[in-house]
Amino acid sequence: MNNNLDIKKILLIDPDVEIQNQFRESVTAMGVQLICHSSGEEALSELKAIQPNCIISEFVTDDMDGNQIFLRVIQDKEFSQIRPVPIVLLSEEKFRQQFGDNLFDSGLRGWYAKPLNNHAIREIVYNLYMMAGVLRRNKELKQEVRRSEYRYRDLLENATDFIFTLDQNGKFAFLNNRFSSLTSFSKEEWLEKPFHHLVHPGDRIRIGAHYEMIQQGRARVFESRIVHANNHLNYVSFSISPIIEKGTIQGAIGIGRDITEQKKM
């Protein structure tokens, strides 16, 4: 197996010299560096300097148990950079039965029963390789999603049309930058205000009928006058569609286009 993933350095905490030698024999052929400690405290004191790609620990070390080691790594602020590193434990079955559920719920990546032979050790290392690849890919996907969200939000914020979302009660949940230039109101003061408050009082009864249809799951296109901070008369063409999740209407998304000049002409 080629070492083409993210494991270059393994920290092994185990007072059993035979286990250390078995792991060293297995990982050296893969081009992986193995750092061994028999003391949990000693290993933790050098953890930041070692910067391992994964940690394998016998549950019973010279001075700490695996439960203490794992909780120190995931809870101490000084190990915040190490926290994403996969941690697996080795022990007799009784320790896994006693502590396993809580530790797995907290993020433990694996627990293997002893005694171990060379085949079992190779399986452990192989599983760590696969795990490292999955974790790396998940991280890359999260970063790509975050970049996509930033691009999408920038597109919405700076669109030439007025784009907005409404919650289940018909109140503004999102307003893009075009709202302020169209109405001379700030976005912040209109968030959580009802959509019909934006509509000119003379159009509210007619627009109310359209909104009832949107609440029934039907998209609507209509024109309306809207209120303006400086009492200007602006006409907007609205296209509003319901947001439906699992058969339930969760709100609506809308686009408004300024048609004031066309009306004047």
Q: HEC profile for 107-162?
A: CCCEEEECCCCHHHHHHHHHHHHHHHHHHHHHHHHHHHHHHHHHHHHHHHHCCCCE
Q: Is residue 2 part of a domain?
A: no
Confidence of residue 1 (pLDDT cuts 50, 70, 90): very low
Q: Is residue 3 part of a domain?
A: no
Q: Which of 235, 238, 221 is nearest to 263 (CA)?
A: 235
Does 99 share its domain with 39?
yes
Mean pLDDT on 189-200:
94
Does 125 share its domain with 15?
yes
Please tell me which residue, 201 or 152, carries the higher pLDDT value. Answer: 201
**What range defines the domain where residue 197 resides?**
158-264
Residue 3 has pLDDT above 50, yes or no: no
Does 84 share its domain with 208?
no
Does 138 share its domain with 170?
no
Confidence of residue 135 (pLDDT cuts 50, 70, 90): low
Confidence of residue 4 (pLDDT cuts 50, 70, 90): very low
Residue 46 has pLDDT above 80, yes or no: yes
Cis peptide bond prior to 201, omega within 30° of 0 = no
Q: Which of 134, 125, 171, 105 is nearest to 12 (CA)?
A: 125
Does 56 share its domain with 144?
yes
Does 123 share its domain with 194?
no
Does 139 share its domain with 162?
no
* pLDDT given for residue 7 in this prediction: 66
How many angstroms separate the CA atoms of 74 and 83, rounded?
Answer: 5
Mean pLDDT on 240-265:
87
* pLDDT given for residue 29 in this prediction: 73
* pLDDT given for residue 236 in this prediction: 93
Does 96 share its domain with 166?
no
How many angstroms separate the CA atoms of 8 and 149, rounded?
Answer: 33
Mean pLDDT on 191-210:
92
pTM above 0.85, yes or no: no
Instruction: State how many domains the chain has.
Output: 2
Name 151's Cβ contacts closer than 8 Å, sequence gap at least 6: none
* pLDDT given for residue 40 in this prediction: 92
Residue 194 has pLDDT above 90, yes or no: yes
Place of tokens 């408050």: 197
Residue 129 has pLDDT above 80, yes or no: no
Does 142 share its domain with 47?
yes
Confidence of residue 123 (pLDDT cuts 50, 70, 90): confident
Confidence of residue 224 (pLDDT cuts 50, 70, 90): very high
Domain boundary pick from 148, 177, 208: 148
Q: Is residue 128 part of a domain?
A: yes
Mean of the per-residue pLDDT values for the chain? 85
Q: Of the ranges 69-73, 103-107, 137-141, 256-260, which one carries the lowest mean pLDDT score?
A: 137-141
Residue 193 has pLDDT above 50, yes or no: yes
How many angstroms separate the CA atoms of 5 and 60, rounded?
Answer: 30
Residue 262, number of CB atoms within 10 A of its CB: 10
